[in-house]
Amino acid sequence: MFRPGRESGFRSKARASIPDSSSRAYELFIDGYAHHRAGRLNEAERLFRQALAADPRHPDSLHALGVIAHQVGRHDAAADLIGKAVAISPRASVYHLNLGNALKGMGKIDEAGDCYRKALDLKPDYGEAYSKLGDTLWYQGRFEEAAAAYETALRLGADPAAAYSGLSQCRKFTQADRPLIADMEALVEKPNLPDASRSALHFALGKIFDDLAEHGTAIRHVDEANRLESKRHKFDRAQFAAFIDRSIEVFSREALKAPHASESELPVLIVGMPRSGTTLTEQILASHPKVATGGELDFWLSRLAALGNRAVGLLDPATEQNLIRDYLGRLKDISPDATRVTDKMPYNFLVLGLVHRLFPKARIIHCRRNPLDTALSIYFARFTRVNDFSYSRGDIVAYYREYLRQMAHWRAVLPADRLIEVDYEELIADPEATSRRLVAFCGLEWDEACRESHKTDRPIRTASAWQARQPIYATSAERWRRYEPWLGELRQLLPRDGTVPG
């Protein structure tokens, strides 16, 4: 999220970029800036476009429009607009910072890091650029360097909540970290701290006290973080259940057959609940030389949002062909030469009927994990993507039950050779056997590199980035038992027959 004003704002000394500060473009820009500060994005965008109509090379307005595009998830458009602003005013450090943010949103982690470094070349004391650079280093698995970047950001006065939050994810904390923890505890209690910053700090402290095995303190911080987030995000249980009803009704086995489906075997979709082992599964496949990884692609979810109710139904042939073309184009952009490309968006379990109808030869890997461990891990996580259901125990249970219902339907109607299910507990108990099964399912020969997937060098943009960089371990299994006194409504997910539902 961009925060207008301070170092990450729209303006790079706006008056210096416009010879006549009383010009119409400048006036419109200033008006738009005020609207953006007040959260009125539509009005701000309208004024910035008017400023560009008055002066098509007005860099601050180009940059501002790019900031808004990034805020609403149009990262490609954001990178294009801010890139134009950079070409006009290449010494504006804030432009490079926000270009990096847009590229990061596109999954271009290396390029984003280059932008943050350029911002620091121009402004060596740019604390926020250090914090953002820390994010890219963390995604790349360079945790020591990331921690150093976050620590520098703190010294330079960058947003402490963001820097502490990043730092908390770089390593396991010990009793030696008590002075740093005390600083974080003092900060989280300060009055007038924005809810988003306070929430980030509580999530970070929850993770740290979990590291210290102080479970009562950890859950207290996580409860407060989720309470703050639930003030801003509401989950509509009835609406979600109705969506699942419609999906099950429409996508019968017969409806999954399309007359002009793609014959491509390129896509490998990895789905399931968040925190169910999807990142580890992709990391294993990423080690194979014939597999390219897309990470959490937003392709199907963005199309779902654009199509609305039509996506939970049968589309016209032209729309289906456009989806096939666009999805293959997205995968080939990731790697033109790969035999398989993974798409690790967990929530693609919602659209498997549509995906299989268009790509009947695509492989689908469903990751499962003990439901209580999954639910607790979701409750503890600060996701980069808003998950409306993840901020209350009751909502997590409601969502999980609908997920089970949807997956039971896909299991019944999808061909057995297109869907494989992988249990996290089996994966960590016997990594090689499960890895071999995954590789074979993808139609590939075994490669020894898959034995040491934690050494694979690729950016990981999820809350599981730290775990995926470690050798496969079993300490996260049965984690829920450490928090048994505080499970509350999550107890409803306790298996009644000793088996893991899924």
Tell me 450's DSSP state: G
Token output for 275: 């925190």
Q: Is 199 helix (H, G, I), strand (E, B) or coil?
A: helix
Q: Kindly state the tokens that stand for 335.
A: 């790697």
Contact 181/205 with Cβ under 8 angstroms? Answer: yes
Q: What is the pLDDT of residue 8?
A: 43
Buried b (16+ CB within 10 A) or exposed e, 343-358: bbbbbbbbbbbbbbbb
pLDDT at 362: 98
Q: Which two tokens stand for residue 261?
A: 């489906």
Indicate the residue type of 183. D
The CA–CA distances, whole Å, from 443 to 214, 349, 414, 424 equal 45, 22, 18, 21
Neighbours of 465 (CB within 10 A): 20
Question: The tokens of 482 are what?
Answer: 């450490």
Distances (CA, A) of 67 to 97, 392, 480: 11, 31, 40
Q: What are phi and psi of 420, to 5 degrees?
A: -120, 145
The DSSP bridge partners found for residue 271 are 366
Structure tokens at 241: 């259940």
List Cα–Cα distances, 104 to 63, 133, 457, in angstroms.
16, 11, 17
| Contact residues for 393 (Cβ-Cβ < 8 A; gap 6+) | 375, 379, 487, 488, 489, 490
CB 439 within 8 A of CB 447: yes
102 neighbors 86 (Cβ within 8 angstroms)? no
Rounded to an integer, what distance in angstroms lies between the CA atom of residue 100 and that of residue 129?
Answer: 9
Residues paired with 367 in a beta bridge: 272, 422
Helix, strand or coil, per DSSP, at residue 45: helix
The CATH number of the structural domain formed by 264-493 is 3.40.50.300
Residues constituting the chain: 502
3-class SS of residue 368? strand
Sequence-ordered list of residues with C-beta below 8 angstroms from that of 446, at least 6 positions apart, any chain: 436, 439, 440
The CA-atom distances, in angstroms, between 253 and each of 38, 268, 366, 409 are: 50, 20, 19, 10
- Print pLDDT tens along the chain (502 aa): 334 333 345 555 444 444 454 488 989 999 999 999 998 999 999 999 999 999 999 999 999 999 999 998 889 899 999 999 999 999 999 999 999 999 998 888 999 999 999 999 999 999 999 999 999 999 888 999 999 999 999 999 999 999 999 999 999 999 999 999 999 999 999 999 999 999 999 999 999 999 999 999 999 999 999 999 999 999 999 999 999 999 999 999 999 988 889 999 999 999 999 999 999 999 999 999 999 999 889 899 888 877 766 666 678 889 999 999 999 999 999 999 999 999 999 999 999 999 999 999 999 999 999 999 999 999 999 987 778 999 999 999 999 999 999 999 999 999 999 999 999 999 999 999 999 999 999 999 999 999 876 555 555 444 444 454 445 555 567 899 999 999 999 999 987 644 444 4
Handedness of CA 176, 179, 180, 182 (dihedral sign): positive
- Where do the structural domains in the chain lie, given as residue ranges? 1-124, 264-493
pTM: 0.85
Smallest CA-to-CA distance from 297 within 346, 264, 335 is with 346
Element spanning 155, H or E: helix 143-155
Task: Return the CATH number of 1-124, one of 1.10.8.50, 1.20.1420.20, 3.40.140.10, 1.25.40.10.
Answer: 1.25.40.10
Task: Determine the pLDDT at residue 477.
Answer: 73
Give me the DSSP letters along 292-361.
Answer: EE--S--HHHHHHHHHGGGGSSPPPHHHHHHHHHHHHHHHHHH-SS-SEEEE--GGGGGGHHHHHHH-TT
Residue 120: both structure tokens together: 């620091």
Q: Cβ(178)–Cβ(204) under 8 Å? A: no
Task: Report how far residue 362's alpha carbon sits from residue 358's, in angstroms, rounded to the nearest whole number.
Answer: 9
